[in-house]
Chains A and B, each alone.
Chain A
Amino acid sequence: MPQKLKEVDVVIVGVGFAGAILGKELAAAGLRVVGLERGSLRLTVPDFQAPQIHDELKYSVRKALMQDVRKEAMTFRNSENQMALPIRNWEAFLPGTGLGGSGAHWNGQLWRYHATEFVYKSHLEARYGKNFIDPDLRIQDWGVRYEELEPHYDRFERLTGAGGKAGNLKGKIQPGGNPLESPREHEYPNPPMKEQFSGALFRKAATEMGYHPFIQPSANSSAPYTNPEGLTLNPCVYCGFCERFGCEQFAKASPQSVILPVLQKYSNFELRAGAQVLRVNLDSTRSKATGVTYMDANGHEFEQPAALVLVTAFALNNIRLLLLSGIGKPYDPRTEQGVVGRNYAYQTVSAVPLFFDEDTHLNSFMGAGASGTVIDDFNVDNFDHSKLGFIGGSFIVSGSSGARPIEFHPTPPGTPPWGAKWKEAVRKHYNHTAMLIQPATSSSARQNYADLDPTYRDAWGLPLLRITYDFTDNDLRMNRYITDRAAEIGRAMGARTVVNAPSRRPFTTTVYQTTHNTGGTVMGADRRTSVVNRYCQSWDVPNVFVVGASNYPQNSSYNPTGTLGALIYWTADALKKQYLKKPGPLA
């Protein structure tokens, strides 16, 4: 029998950005809040300190900050007619774990989504007609509009000390920023990051080609900064150990650096690490949650009763917890009935390596996680798709978050895969190779989804999440077009060899592409096609809120965390201003 604990007002499952910010907002409102974190309690000091944190093998190759795959893996297959098998080591994407979640190991590339993305389906149908979109795609509107989220984007940018240059202030185009972005009410709190050599080469070429380059917005802290919570960030020193690593400088915005120290001052907030939540408990009506059941690191089971349950784990784990708890009907791709697991999406990433001559010293090992010079001219609907036969697009970025050599040692086409010529090529090209990256959109589709695996189990005996995914025809056509544009820019940058390698099927779990998994607990205005309403509240169990990139109906090219930050504050507002006053379904 699990030990039943004293009831609290709020229990939070997963203490990353979403759990920490919502915990703070609700603790400040006077509620008794318990935060359950399955991983360990990690702090900048001592856990992220240099020089030990600058360890490529431990953190980047062996994935020390990531979900313990030995205990909790996922299974994968490309299509329904295959048997899903476990992802036995993380490669394609890296779900975080531990205090701070993926917010501890992210790169800090801090984007807003474009206004048209929140009304993606209606926007594209209005511009190109109802028959333009491939029939197997399931893109849809979010149920919340950019204009509603704008103040919440702003709040998250202030929390994280975002560095950048506004390109559109209240509708007025600003020099130096992204002229294609949606209107902002305020300038960024900090200036843009410094520009790498490869970025400067990209800027020159892109400008000459008539594009609109700008410095990528960043939560790496470009200057000394004290956020509205009273926490101070130091300037980033471009050490080249950012993504997959913790930041010793107190520069990268992480829950540890921008919110947790404030949260932990509240005596009505309690953090429990090593707490593996097994399920959200429902009462006999199945429409009310009574709390959660979790197991601690010693294998003792506890029931934590709570009036309100916030599911704020990594996107894929949000889906799994709802499925394990029986909240919402699981999606069936054959009948298209059910919603949980529906619209799982990824990204359609391609890279264009640019090999320069040996007089071009790129020094790509100097870099911040968000270092990059970007064009947005081929992203979202910033360009006319009418004659192109696809939807979606990508920003194109020239930048390096570090050139750590176990994983970065590019060789040009024709180089043998090992041996003397390989070694010579690595030596000749290591510091003279730049990468253009296209983290292109991913359209949700009928056949791509997540459910519970019928065979494989985790260390607690529960079914693993099963992912069924492959790139759609639309996304491959789109990626080919975008990669061609990037290769043109690469040639104009003066590279001696430009490799044009667009994405291809099958999607593989064996090569890192992106950690931006989305969908599965999609938000929307119609409960037949969404799991949560526009306030991230479960349609079926209104005292459960789910906040994560799992709420995104399809995936953007832009990195997801900025929009997650906006949704966090949007949800906090809905909880404080509406739900707590009158608990029940929000209209």
Chain B
Amino acid sequence: MSNQQRSHSRRSFLVAGLLTIPTVTALVGESDSHSSVAEHGIFNSTEKLFLHAAVDRLIPADEWPSASQLNVVEYIDLQMAGPWGRGDLSYRNGPFHQGTPSQGYQLEYTPAEVFRRSIAAITRHWNAEGTAFHRLPVAQQDAYLATLQTKHIDLDGVPSSVFFGLLWKHTVEGFFADPIYGGNKDKIAWQMIGFPGAYTDFYDLIEQHNVKFDAAPMGIADGMHMHSHGRGNGKE
């Protein structure tokens, strides 16, 4: 129980700290190519500008940070550059046919290709209107995202509903996945809902019913002490 007491104050501190985070919308997309993320990701600055604006409409800032503030764009970028985005975790043999919804994803494109084709088509669409998605008023951004979600607009071979589905899937992943994958910065999404993360032992707590559990969440990178003998010198 002392564990919970201690971490409660830690959490309060973190929450208070969040209120001072400035809302920096466009900076990430235009970020320099020498950040570690840019070196390893696949998206160019135009693509990032779209993603940044889009994920922040999907999960906007309120008293808790938005998706991009928790590095969801960086998360998606890294995922698309890795084995999943490359299609290495999927069955990719043809022939490719359009199936029924119950047959699931049937396009020949990898997840990364879906993102790149779709964002390019969206960029062209708004360029033709003399603007860009990230420059639209948020109400118009929301309306456009809803159109992508519910209609099957052709985005250079990708139905927009398919693209939206992948965008939403990866936004949620980046928001809630362990921070080792680049999103969920400082485990803030876990704090927001009260998920303890990779915490390992509830043997003594599980039958203490209806007790609010508010220990600070633990990420995989926080658990390295499990692989050492003794607790080491220094304070926790």
Contact = CB atoms under 8 A, between A and B. Distances in A.
A403 B202 CA distance: 13
Nearest to B95: A455
A363 B60 CA distance: 26
Contacts of A241: 198
Given A50-B223, A196-B206, A405-B195, A89 B60 contact: no
Contacts of B100: 77-78, 82, 506
Interface string A48-71: 011110111100011100000110
Contacts of B149: 417
B201 A237 contact: yes
Interface stretch (B7-15, B22-30, B125-133, B208-216): B208-216
B99 interface: yes
B84 interface: yes
Interface in B81-102: 84, 88-93, 95, 97, 99-102
A266 interface: no
Contacts, number: 176
B153 interface: no
16 contacts: A50-B200, A51-B200, A51-B219, A51-B224, A54-B197, A85-B103, A196-B206, A365-B195, A366-B213, A367-B206, A405-B189, A419-B58, A420-B60, A424-B62, A455-B95, A508-B104
A405 B95 contact: no
List the 8 closest pairs (A to B, CB-CB), nearest first. A51-B223, A73-B91, A54-B198, A366-B202, A430-B193, A508-B102, A197-B209, A405-B176
Nearest to A54: B198
B102 A89 contact: no
Contacts of B178: 55-57
Interface in A416-465: 417-420, 422-424, 426-427, 430-431, 455-457
B38 interface: no
Interface in B20-61: 57-60
Interface string B141-152: 010010001000
A237 B202 contact: yes
Contact of B57 (A86, A363, A419): A419
B18 to A, nearest CB: 14
Nearest to A360: B210
Interface in A357-400: 360-361, 363, 365-367
B59 A423 contact: yes
A88 interface: yes
Given A51-B200, A363-B213, 7 more contacts: A52-B220, A70-B89, A88-B105, A363-B205, A417-B168, A419-B59, A423-B59
A88 B103 CA distance: 9
A507 B193 contact: no
A444 B61 CA distance: 50
Interface in A511-562: none
B177 interface: yes
Given A405-B195, A508-B101, A423 B60 contact: yes
A404 B196 CA distance: 9
B168 A366 contact: no
A405 B193 contact: yes
Contacts of A419: 57-60, 142
Contact of A88 (B106, B194, B222): B106
A101 to B, nearest CB: 20
Contacts of A423: 59-60, 62, 64
Secondary structure type dominating chain B contacts: loop
Interface in B54-78: 57-60, 62, 64
What class of interface size applies to chain A in its complex with B?
35 or more
Interface in B158-181: 168, 172-173, 176-178, 180-181
B190 interface: yes
A269 interface: no
A417 B171 CA distance: 13
A356 to B, nearest CB: 10
Contacts of A83: 97, 99
Interface in A307-321: none
Given A365-B195, A510-B101, A69 B206 contact: no
| Interface bin, chain B | 35 or more
Contacts of B196: 365
Contacts of A455: 95
B198 A50 contact: yes
Given A51-B200, A417-B149, A423-B59, A77 B90 contact: no
A409 B199 contact: no
A455 B95 CA distance: 8
Interface of A: 49-52, 54-57, 61-63, 69-70, 73, 76-78, 82-83, 85-89, 91, 194-197, 200, 235-241, 248, 360-361, 363, 365-367, 403-406, 409, 417-420, 422-424, 426-427, 430-431, 455-457, 506-510
Contacts of B172: 406, 409
Given A239-B200, A430-B194, A406 B177 contact: yes
B16 interface: no
Contacts of A69: 89-91
Contacts of A510: 101-102, 104
B62 A420 contact: yes
B218 interface: yes
Nearest to A420: B60
Nearest to A469: B102
Contacts of A508: 101-102, 104
Given A61-B173, A419-B142, A55 B220 contact: yes
B192 interface: yes
Contacts of A431: 193-194
Given A88-B91, A419-B58, A54 B200 contact: yes
Contact of B220 (A51, A240, A427): A51
A78 B102 contact: yes
Given A51-B223, A194-B207, A88 B213 contact: no
A98 to B, nearest CB: 15
Contacts of B180: 55
B226 interface: yes
A74 to B, nearest CB: 9
A8 B199 CA distance: 47
